[in-house]
Structure 1
């Protein structure tokens, strides 16, 4: 299939060269025209393996054709080959330019007996080389961007697994510590009723720990796409973290367009971490989550009505993790006591820089 495609390319280039020459003044396509058109196009087969050799061979045949036919459009094929020579040759583009310049000068001597004008030199020699060089730079930049995206995806996946492992550690450690304290209290309880209540508390804490561990491990076993939730999953998150004495309300406003994947996922993680901190460390009975999407990005605010707390001297893992996620997208995040009481998390995520 590959060789068939290459053969069709050579045949097409030769046909175009011959037809253009015939349309420019020749009465018909004769044998010399067909032979030279095929000859100048055959080096296309070597444009990837031996790019400069293919361009030079086509240039020599083009000069011979100009000497024989005097008016011939096969030079267009040679110009394309010099363009591909720079594209496929990663080093020393100056050598390709030098060979191309010599070929154009030789063409002028064959046609008119003198070196062609500067405009002709630029169009036939410099332009193909510059075009090939620009295309190669674009290709290299695209490949580098793809590698960076793959590395970022791998980093995010590793970060998600680290986050899950940290949550398993925190959840199990907290609940087992509480179980140990309750068990110690049970040994010192004077009556059966108190011991019964203590054992019931132990049972509840154990069930809570097992449920959290199972949920986290289930997420690890799911398809990797499940590790990338977005703001569409916030309703389910709010419902899962709501309780009888705690209400979580979600408000959305703004344009409502489709968010870039990185912004969508980061927004979910910021809200998730903020709500988790409320559940673990606050006595808040009402939590409000506001998402406002505008032309430049997404604004996230998580505000609770818990008792005013003094900001810690050192940020915990949760706030530090949120800040790192937001900074990766060139966003901003602030977390601290609100003026109206409680705790407030505010994040700004730009969309334009992260639309990939």
Structure 2
């Protein structure tokens, strides 16, 4: 059963990534966006280094640097928009997309006019196109076409501007410029996979919340519907018997009152079942309460602790924690809920202050007596020990599912 707090969180979620995603997913987005921008900055630096190697003048380097930075700035809105992509866009790009694309075309034309390199002409537009909200098949074809085109332009540059001795020194320029769109697509693909997993998590939470609401509605309908139907029949029978047989009518009224009590108790039990806190949360709450009281508290919980009988252990955890706070007076405590074989074992251990009386097994008090009765009804056992100023309560309860298996 889903915890009510989880249900509330699931009901508040929306399908839009970025608004309801977990903190780790949001952090991953910033890593992805930073990586894309970092790749672009590195490419511009490689361009400048390549032109320095060619012996270009300072004015050319300045123009290329300025055009590259303007182009990188124009990709930032595209990167920001990509975070909330749907992958289902079929319409033509709007003004918010056309402006960065026009800036990329202009930047490519400027750097080509001063350098004569075809790769510098094509890359800004090719990179900006990868940041648009394309459907997955279109994106795959686009990156393949763009990469092949850039490799061909690399060949033109090698046979043109880089022809002659020393042409092999420009391999870094050609390789990284050609594969930048491909590296960008890989980075964005990783983000797409992560956001798809996060959407699946949100959908699972919604489904769990819906199933829980359906379960509550079904249980309430079955419980109240049955009892109300029985009460209605008993009252109708009492009404018919009243003129002729008052004793029989009175008996039916008493039966109706019993049915009302049963319905009320059933409703109370149902509400208690849905308000119950999972055992791992109970232990966490107990640990935090002990820490708030100034004690050094630690807890050890089995990974499958949620499968333990909560109706037994939850009151035991609360009662023993209260005993530690009320009678312990020590500085440290340790809680553990583990499963060994076919039984669950809960242990709480704490040191006691010398000035406070020790609660021993022979003089337990009503709290531990109530725990013993509850645990005994579940077929378990309670052990209370004291050793060198340390008080320990151990509760073992059979694992009903393991026993049935």
- Report the TM-score, using the length of structure 1 for normalisation: 0.47
Asked which structure has the greater RCO (Cα within 8 Å, sep 6+), the reply is 2
- Report the TM-score, using the length of structure 2 for normalisation: 0.42
